[in-house]
Amino acid sequence: MSSDECIAVNNPNTYMQLRVASVFIILVCATSGTLFPVLARRSEWLHVPKSVFNFAKYFGSGVIIATAFIHLLSPGLEELSSPCLSPAWSDYPYGMALCLLSIFSIFILELIAFRWGTSKLEKIGLRHGKYFEESADHYYNSSLQIHTGITQARTPRMAPKEHKHPRKRAVISKRKNTVVITTMSTATATEGYRILMTLPLPKYVLIGLTLAVDEGFKILFIVIIFHQTFEGLGLGSRLAFIQLPPRYNLVPVIAAIIFGLSTPVGIAVGLGLRSTYNPGSATASIVSGVLDSLSAGILIYTGLVELLAHEFLFNKEMMNSSNGNLAYAIGTMLLGCGVMALLGRWA
């Protein structure tokens, strides 16, 4: 590629009306796909069978994993090997290194948070069988910041007891001299963090920028509609089951709306910068390649560790279920993965 092609801005002016309309079409598809499971779960009159949510959840897991490898990591490697970049970028696989950095960064952060949370629980006596209302208050107040879920402590036999408070719920249950103490905020907040980690929003903005100026607009437009709808459905089905304290009840709704807005915002910005934005320039390639590679690491970790491992290998309900249910869940996940991988043929 010549240096003039790397610098020149030569964006086509075809399908301008459809490009403008794509802002609103993708906004509706992505937002509705993400919001529907969230609102349906909360609705008293719209009774969606649990099987529908399960299908969307497992389908979304496959979508997330395929997105990581096909729609993020592969383009990231391609963008960081662009001929418009300095030859130094080809001396080392920077895309793979950034993906690796992202994976281990998330792992280390979760590990530190878990150990810190465990030590906090030990300090307030939950590891030594001491449970008081004051401890429950302390545990609840700190649990929003503790990245851990369930703590077990060996104690003498205790009668089942439940403490209720308008802003907290702590339950002690007897199970073979083991007290299992769970607060609603810790496990669900952790799950919320993991779900929100699957939102590489800058990437979707860049997708919108590319769509606004791409020559093959029609095919890319159709693919992105399916892409955003399917990914939104998978994301929304998981956001729907996050149980947060009352003050955070709107977090899933806000997350769904932000997801729906990300690509349309990119399209709008791209249409406004048509005369100056060059998606093939060195700067655009570096920014897009770095974000793609980092986002791929986030989704790879989330998809393989948090979704596959936790939903299947470490899920007693799934491991003890019938072979038919297990085959259905795996088949649904593979279907989502296959559909999203197929879309990578065109985008």
pLDDT value for 89: 92
The answer to whether 154 and 177 are in contact (CB under 8 A) is yes
Tokens representing residue 70 in the block: 């096909």
φ/ψ of residue 121, rounded to 5? -65, -40
pLDDT value for 10: 66
- Sign of the Cα torsion 267, 269, 273, 278 reads negative
Nearest-10 Cα torsion for 312, 316, 321, 327: 10
Q: What single-letter amino acid sits at 253?
A: V
pLDDT value for 112: 86
pTM here is 0.69
pLDDT value for 236: 85
φ/ψ of residue 168, rounded to 5? -155, 165
Between CA 298 and CA 104 the distance in angstroms is 9
H/E stretch holding 168 reads strand 168-175
Q: Could you tell me where the DSSP H helices lie in the chain?
A: 3-7, 16-42, 50-66, 74-79, 94-123, 133-143, 184-196, 201-213, 217-239, 251-272, 282-301, 316-319, 323-343
pLDDT value for 176: 42
Q: Edge-to-edge, what's the strand order for the sheet holding 178-183? A: 151-154, 178-183, 168-175, 161-165
pLDDT in tens, the chain (347 residues): 556 667 767 676 778 889 999 999 999 999 999 999 888 888 877 777 888 888 888 898 898 899 889 988 999 999 999 988 988 998 999 999 999 999 999 889 878 877 887 777 677 665 533 333 333 343 334 333 333 344 444 344 444 444 444 434 444 444 444 434 333 333 444 555 555 555 556 667 877 887 887 777 888 888 889 888 888 887 888 788 777 778 878 888 988 898 899 889 989 988 888 777 777 788 888 988 998 898 889 889 888 987 888 888 888 888 899 999 999 999 999 999 999 899 888 86
